Structures are given as C-alpha cells and as structure tokens.
Amino acid sequence: MSTDNTQNSIHIQWKLTSLFPLLMIVLVNYLIIGVAMPVVPLYVSHKLGFGTLMVGITVSCEFIAALISRIWSGHHADVNGAKRTVIIGLLAGAIAGALYFASIYFISSPNIAVTLLVLARTVLGVSESFVITGTLVWGLSMFGVSHAGKVIAWLGTALWGAYAAGAPLGTFLYGKYGFDSTAAVTVALPLLTLLAVLPMQGPASKKKASNAFKDMAQVISSVWLPGVGLAFTAAGFGSITTFGALLFADKGWDSAWLVFTSLSGAFILGRLFFGHLPDKIGGAKVALICVLIEAAGGFMIGMTPNPLLAFIGAAVTGLGYALVYPGFGLEAVRLAPAENPGLAMGTYTAFLDLALGITGPALGAVADATGLMSVFIVSGATVFCAFPIAVILLRKKTVI
C-alpha cells in the first residue's frame, strides 16, 4: 500500500512538472492584462479626458467580450482541442496590442481613440477567454476530475502572479514611456509565447461535433448555482482593479500600484498554502469561509483613512478571493456532465465575466453619485450575497 501511495505521489509530481508550460502560457496572457490594469483607467481619464463612467465601460468591455466568447471557447476546446484554442487566444492578444497602437495614433481625436481602445479591450477579452479555457481543459485532461481543484488553483496562481508583476511593471512603463509601452508589450508577449506553443503536443479532443446550444443548455442547468455564487464575489475584485488607482489619485496617495500587488500577492499566497483545501474538504465549505474574508476586505477599503489600511484591505480581499473560484469551480465540475469539461468551465467562468461586465459601469455610477469610497462598501455587501449560495451548495452536497 505504501509503495502504491509513493508511486501515485511521484506520478502527480511528474504531471505537475508537465503542467509548467501551461502555467507559463497563462502567466504571459495575464501579464498583458495586468500591465494594462492600472494604466487604462489613467489613460482614459487623464489623457483622453473622460469621466469615471467611461473608465468603467472601457475596463469592463473586456469582461463582456470574455463573457460572450466564453461558451464559444469552451465548446471549441471540447471539439477542436485545447491547443488550437490556446493558439487562437494568443493571436487575439497580439491583435489587441495592435489596436492599442491605433488608439494612440488618434489620441488628438478622443472619441475615435476611446472607440479603438474599447475595440482593443474587447479583442483582449476574447484572447483571455480562449487562453484560460484552453489551458484549463488541457490541465484537466492531464490530471482528471479528481484533481480539478488543484488544476484550477495552480493555473489561477500563474494568473495572479501575472497580475502582481503586471501592475508595477505597467505603472513603471507608462510613467516612463507612455501608453506606447503597454501596446508594445501586448503585441510582443503573445507572439513570443505562440512560438513556444506551436511545437507542443496538445491533448486529443474526446468529443465529436455536436449541437452547441443543446450542450450549453444542459451545462447551464448544472452549473448555474455555483456560477451565481462566483458572480457575486466578482465585485470585490472588480472594485479594486477598476477604481483602486483612481481612489489613490483622488486622495493624493502615492504607490497606487501596491493596491494591485497586495491584492495579487495575498491571492497567490492563499493559493500556495491553501490551494489543496477544495479537493480535501470540499469546494462549498471553502467558498463559504472565503466569501466572508473577501467581503471584509471591501469594507476595510471603504472605511480606510489612510493608504496603509487600503493596502491591508486589498490583501484581505485577495486572500478571500483566492479560493472562491476553485471552491465554487469544484462544485461546478462535480455537477456538470463529464463529457463537456471545456463547456462546463467556460459556462461557469461566464458568470464571472457577466458580473465583471456589470460591476464596472454599476460601480462607476455609484462613484459618480456618492464618491469613490462608497464603491468599496457596496462591493463588500455584494460579495456577502454569495454566502447563502455556498450554504445551499453545502447542504445540496450533503443531501446527495
């Protein structure tokens, strides 16, 4: 028995080593998103001269595009394979960078520039959708459903590592070279990664072409409950990524990039130290605890009198958010049809995209009406709404 356990441990470690290229793909794809995260709100507000509502729209259109393309990318991964899905995503990322350059060219005509910027962010959303869905399906094919929580957690760690590195890098490059540097990074990194992906051996597709709408209806009926729980938690993440830099500018505080790094750093630590918990004690139970932690972080930022507490609040938010996605995600995988892993993960994540798409404009309207501080109070209250969803899933699992 001991020998079997040892062999199984070695087998899992070998698979983790094999997963490393996928982690790098995710890292690069989200680095180009992270680089733009603190930059786009400042570019739209300070360079193009638009208000907070347009900032929210420009940031959120990426999530709306990811929402629209998420189910498409999931079905594509199930039918055409994970590797082809990743390649499409990387090409779309490079195109988004080219559109950034086009926006800069028309900077003297703000309406044209912001339209091109919105188009770039839309294409970037498609890129994000195809890359993360493709890598998730790729990883699940290597590990199997029994280790779904770990796959989601490991790939998410690479994602947030990119956010943590991207925010200070983007701020530095923007301050020194302007938005041109953001555009250059967004074009170059996906193309370089594509050269590494092309010779890789992707997993074979296990599903024949089928009616996507029929599959989608079946998957949605299975994963909608954990999806709704995930959607509520998006407010904590969305409020910081969209309005964190503007809050610091409004208060006259320095080092706004530390908000994003605190959020991402705590997220990564949470994944590294506690990423095994969803597979071990159950996704619903983990989500139940983490929702409360994330909500507390939002309230802290909304009531903070100084930047130090804002950094702490962002870290608490990141720590809580760390296991919300794999927690609810494990429940989604458990409830979904086994033959549609890509569509299941795509549909589940689409709830997050929908929430983020709504969060930006909605919280922008809150900021216009009552000020930036209230944005984070509202986001904390919204996150708390996921608590009863986790309770329902926990009871449902117990009944099953």
- Amino acid, res. 38: P
Query: Whose structure tokens read 């193309």?
Result: 191
Cβ of 213: how many Cβ atoms within 10 Å?
A: 10
Q: What is the pLDDT of residue 138?
A: 87
- Amino acid, res. 68: I
65: left (phi over 0), alpha (psi -120 to 50) or beta: alpha
Spatial CA neighbour of 159 closest among 361, 360, 352: 352
Q: Which two tokens stand for residue 193?
A: 């990664």
B/e letters for 290-303, b = 16+ CB within 10 Å, e = fewer, are: bbebbbbbbbbbbe
Q: CA separation (Å) from 95 to 31, 110, 126, 206, 235?
A: 16, 21, 11, 30, 29
Please answer whether residues 78 and 205 qualify as being in contact, where contact means their C-beta atoms are separated by less than 8 angstroms.
Answer: yes
Write down all domains in the chain, each with its CATH number in brackets.
18-200+208-399 (1.20.1250.20)
Cβ of 337: how many Cβ atoms within 10 Å?
A: 14
Measured CA angle at 40 (ends 170, 161), to 5 deg? 40
The alpha-carbon radius of gyration of the chain (Å, integer) is 20
Please answer whether residues 128 and 89 qualify as being in contact, where contact means their C-beta atoms are separated by less than 8 angstroms.
Answer: yes
As a whole number of angstroms, the distance between CA 390 and CA 284 comes to 5
Spatial CA neighbour of 336 closest among 328, 82, 73: 328
Q: What is the pLDDT of residue 1?
A: 42
Q: What is the pLDDT of residue 336?
A: 74
As a whole number of angstroms, the distance between CA 306 and CA 388 comes to 32
Q: CA separation (Å) from 97 to 5, 51, 103, 104, 226?
A: 48, 24, 10, 11, 34
Q: What is the pLDDT along the chain (400 residues), one digit of tens a residue?
A: 444 444 444 444 545 577 788 988 999 888 998 898 888 888 998 888 888 788 888 887 887 788 788 778 887 888 888 899 999 999 999 999 999 999 999 988 889 999 999 999 999 999 988 998 899 888 888 777 667 777 877 787 787 778 768 878 888 888 889 899 999 999 999 999 999 899 888 776 665 555 556 666 777 777 889 999 999 998 988 888 888 888 888 888 877 778 888 887 888 888 878 877 887 888 889 999 999 999 999 999 989 888 888 899 999 999 999 889 889 988 887 887 766 767 777 788 778 777 877 887 888 888 888 888 889 999 999 999 999 999 999 887 654 4
As a whole number of angstroms, the distance between CA 368 and CA 364 comes to 6
Q: What is the pLDDT of residue 216?
A: 67
H or E element that contains 76: helix 52-80
- Amino acid, res. 70: R
Q: What is the pLDDT of residue 316?
A: 94
Overall pTM surpassing 0.85 (yes/no): no
The alpha carbon of residue 229 and the mean position of all alpha carbons in its chain are separated, in whole angstroms, by: 15
